[in-house]
């Protein structure tokens, strides 16, 4: 239990840790004010039992009780506010830290870890820590602090009863320790089922068109239904495991209270304890084990707290790429790839590629699916680090750049476009948030999306649904291209950028991309001949190797893969060029 507390407080960071520490100190004061009820009651009982209850007795008892209630309320208020600030502060800070950390992880991490897991860590885990964990940790610590203070007070009044109290507390924690061990085995199973459920729900929603078209809704959605059933079973198993142990824990607390009451009465009857002390001991015992019982009820959730901390740390502990390079502005934007090799796990996807891409030229990359085209582009932009060889920008190894200074040189347009739930204007100016509307409109016109934007009800102020849900594929693609134009980076990587563009806009968009080559370094992956044929250099990649390179005319004269592609349109189905 102590280890869980230590990990949780360390996880929270120094500022929030200090707030929790202050909250615990206030918890000690709260426990002391809570314990003042015992002398308050004792003062009144002393007057009643002596047969000489006076106004002084009543006023003193009332004063102590008032101090107990007021002090308890004040300490509880301040402690709760600190807990909330620290809890929600931790949640916000860690979400930002996770987001920043994810920026510098190699892209391979996102291939190996599903969207459901990352979403679960950044949302469910952090939300649980902010809402549940904070309360669980503080309720448990408050219960323990109250127990310690009251137990010390009982020991002060009577060592015999105090000894029984200590034995009862130790027995209680022995059962609680067993509870923690059981939680250690049950909590991961429940967490795994929660994570799987999130993944399947996301998968179901994202693929809802296919789900409906194949009539896999309702009872036929077997994967989702299975995940729901497994999650239900995991939750039931968790409750069945914890409830009997928690019942035993609570029973021990209450029975020890009964034992103390019986022993106190026995001591009074045999003349070894005054009636006043006997009554006070009985009252103190039930305050003691009431606090302990409350702490025990929440302690079963401590393992979930520890699990959520571990999940967040598992993301934060993932080794990032070496991002501590220098803030470099390259002298030129020439790109050199020298004898580069790269593998996914054990499968080599880039095998000894070397190429020189001069600045302000256009390079088209063609080849069959799985040949390594997109991987090569990702290595150039350092989404991954190469296994062997070197990628340099302006004669400087990309590893020597800080990640931020390197990314300033690149704009990207991917085949799979993601737009944020914001205005169209803000999505376009995403890479240059302070840009005036005139530049936004200029970029939109170059990307051939100004006309359809102006046809929307609110024009550039139209709010795009999450992921661009209320736009067509071609419209999203063109806004994405406008965003890349807006960033005005010297190097633009287009990964099948015209794949979702309708025929009416294709020529305009092709002309816009060609115009960019006069001022930018363009690297494009495309499957349409119109996009490829005007490139300054065409690289044909197959099996992780460059098997041909040259202009369209040169490659047509060489024969081989490229010419066969051009001459045999039916082979285009198997190509991504």
pLDDT tens for each residue of 301-337? 676 777 788 888 888 887 777 667 788 889 899 999 9
Which pLDDT score, from 0 to 100, does residue 393 have?
94
Which pLDDT score, from 0 to 100, does residue 570 have?
43
d(CA 149, CA 167): 16
Is the pLDDT reported for residue 355 higher than 90? yes
Span of 290-299, 365-374, 400-409, 448-457 with lowest mean pLDDT = 290-299
Angle, helices 159-206 vs 134-157, to 10°: value is 170
Span of 84-93, 214-223, 471-480 with lowest mean pLDDT = 214-223
Name the 3-class secondary structure at 52.
Answer: coil
Provide the residue ranges of all domains of the chain, joining segments of one domain with +.
2-316, 335-574
Is the pLDDT reported for residue 509 higher than 70? no
Q: What is the mean pLDDT of residues 512-541?
A: 77
Which pLDDT score, from 0 to 100, does residue 301 have?
67
Is the pLDDT reported for residue 31 higher than 70? yes
The residue ranking higher by pLDDT, 229 or 569, is: 229
Is the pLDDT reported for residue 187 higher than 60? yes
Q: Mark out the alpha helices in 381-430 (DSSP H runs).
A: 403-407, 424-428
DSSP state of 397: E
Q: Which backbone phi and psi does 385 adopt, to 5 degrees?
A: -95, 140
Across the chain, what does the average pLDDT equal? 80
The residues, ordered by sequence, that sit 6+ positions from 458 with a Cβ below 8 Å of its Cβ are none
User: Residue 569: which pLDDT band, with cuts at 50, 70 and 90?
Assistant: very low
Tell me the CATH number for domain 335-574: 3.40.50.300
d(CA 251, CA 240): 17
Q: What is the mean pLDDT of residues 156-183?
A: 83
Strand 396-397 and strand 362-366: the pairing is unpaired
- DSSP, residue by residue, 250-280: HHHHHHHHHHHHHHHHHHHHTTSS-HHHHHH
Expressed in angstroms, the distance from the first to the final Cα of the chain is 58
Is the pLDDT reported for residue 391 higher than 80? yes
Is the pLDDT reported for residue 469 higher than 70? no
Burial of 528 per CB tally in 10 Å (0-12, 13-18, 19+): middle
Which pLDDT score, from 0 to 100, does residue 390 have?
94
CATH 3.40.50.410 fits 2-316, yes or no: no
Is the pLDDT reported for residue 220 higher than 60? no
d(CA 29, CA 49): 31
Strand 537-542 and strand 362-366: the pairing is parallel
Is the pLDDT reported for residue 573 higher than 60? no
Give me the percent of the chain exceeding a pLDDT of 70: 86
Q: Which backbone phi and psi does 122 adopt, to 5 degrees?
A: -75, -25
**Segment holding 541, helix H or strand E:** strand 537-542
Q: Which backbone phi and psi does 464 adopt, to 5 degrees?
A: -85, 135
Q: Under a CB-based contact definition with an 8 Å cutoff, are residues 80 and 91 in contact? A: no
The residues, ordered by sequence, that sit 6+ positions from 54 with a Cβ below 8 Å of its Cβ are 47
Strand 521-525 and strand 410-413: the pairing is unpaired
């Amino acid at each position: 239990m102590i280890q869980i507390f230590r990990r949780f407080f360390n996880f929270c960071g120094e500022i929030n840790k200090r707030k929790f520490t202050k909250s615990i100190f206030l918890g000690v004061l709260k426990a002391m004010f809570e314990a003042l009820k015992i002398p308050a009651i004792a003062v009144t009982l002393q007057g009643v039992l002596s047969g000489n209850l006076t106004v002084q007795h009543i006023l003193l008892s009332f004063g102590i009780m008032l101090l107990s209630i007021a002090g308890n309320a004040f300490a509880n208020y301040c402690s709760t506010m600190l807990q909330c600030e620290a809890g929600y502060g931790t949640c916000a800070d860690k979400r930002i830290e996770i987001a920043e950390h994810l920026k510098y992880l190699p892209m391979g991490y996102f291939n190996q870890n599903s969207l459901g897991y990352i979403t679960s860590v950044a949302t469910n885990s952090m939300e649980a820590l902010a809402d549940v964990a904070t309360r669980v940790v503080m309720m448990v610590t408050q219960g323990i602090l109250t127990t310690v203070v009251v137990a010390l007070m009982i020991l002060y009044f009577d060592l015999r009863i105090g000894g029984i109290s200590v034995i009862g507390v130790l027995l209680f924690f022995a059962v609680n320790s067993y509870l923690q061990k059981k939680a250690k085995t049950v909590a991961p199973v429940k967490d795994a089922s929660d994570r799987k459920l999130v993944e399947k729900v996301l998968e179901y929603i994202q693929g809802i068109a296919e789900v409906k078209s194949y009539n896999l809704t309702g009872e036929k959605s077997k994967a989702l239904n299975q995940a729901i059933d497994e999650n239900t079973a995991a939750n039931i198993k968790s409750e069945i495991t914890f409830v009997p142990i928690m019942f035993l824990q609570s029973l021990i607390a209450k029975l020890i209270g009964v034992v103390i009451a019986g022993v106190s009465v026995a001591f009074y009857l045999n003349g070894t304890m005054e009636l006043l002390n006997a009554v006070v001991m009985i009252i103190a015992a039930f305050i003691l084990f009431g606090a302990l019982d409350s702490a025990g009820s929440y302690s079963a959730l401590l393992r979930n707290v520890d699990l959520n901390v571990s999940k967040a740390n598992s993301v934060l502990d993932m080794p990032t790429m070496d991002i501590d390079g220098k803030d470099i502005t390259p002298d030129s934007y020439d790109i050199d790839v020298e004898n580069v090799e790269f593998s996914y796990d054990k499968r080599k996807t880039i095998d000894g590629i070397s190429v020189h891409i001069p600045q302000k030229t256009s390079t088209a990359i063609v080849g069959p699916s799985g040949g390594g085209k997109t991987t090569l582009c990702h290595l150039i932009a350092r989404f991954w680090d190469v296994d062997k060889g070197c990628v340099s920008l302006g004669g400087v190894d990309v590893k020597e750049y800080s990640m931020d200074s390197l990314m300033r040189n690149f704009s990207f347009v991917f085949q799979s476009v993601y737009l944020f739930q914001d205005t169209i204007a803000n999505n376009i100016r995403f890479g240059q948030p302070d840009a005036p509307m005139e530049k936004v409109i200029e970029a939109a016109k170059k990307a051939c999306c100004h006309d359809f934007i102006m046809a929307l009800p609110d024009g550039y102020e139209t709010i795009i649904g999450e992921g661009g849900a209320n736009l067509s594929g071609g419209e999203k693609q063109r806004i994405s291209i406008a965003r890349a134009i807006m960033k005005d980076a010297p190097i633009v990587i287009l990964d099948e950028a015209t794949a979702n563009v309708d025929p009416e806009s294709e020529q305009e968009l092709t002309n816009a991309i060609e115009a960019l080559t006069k001022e930018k370094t363009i690297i494009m992956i495309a499957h349409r001949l119109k996009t490829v044929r005007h490139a300054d250099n065409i690289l044909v990649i197959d099996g992780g190797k460059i098997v041909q390179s040259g202009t369209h005319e040169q490659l047509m004269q060489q024969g081989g893969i490229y010419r066969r592609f051009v001459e045999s349109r039916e082979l285009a189905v198997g190509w991504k060029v």
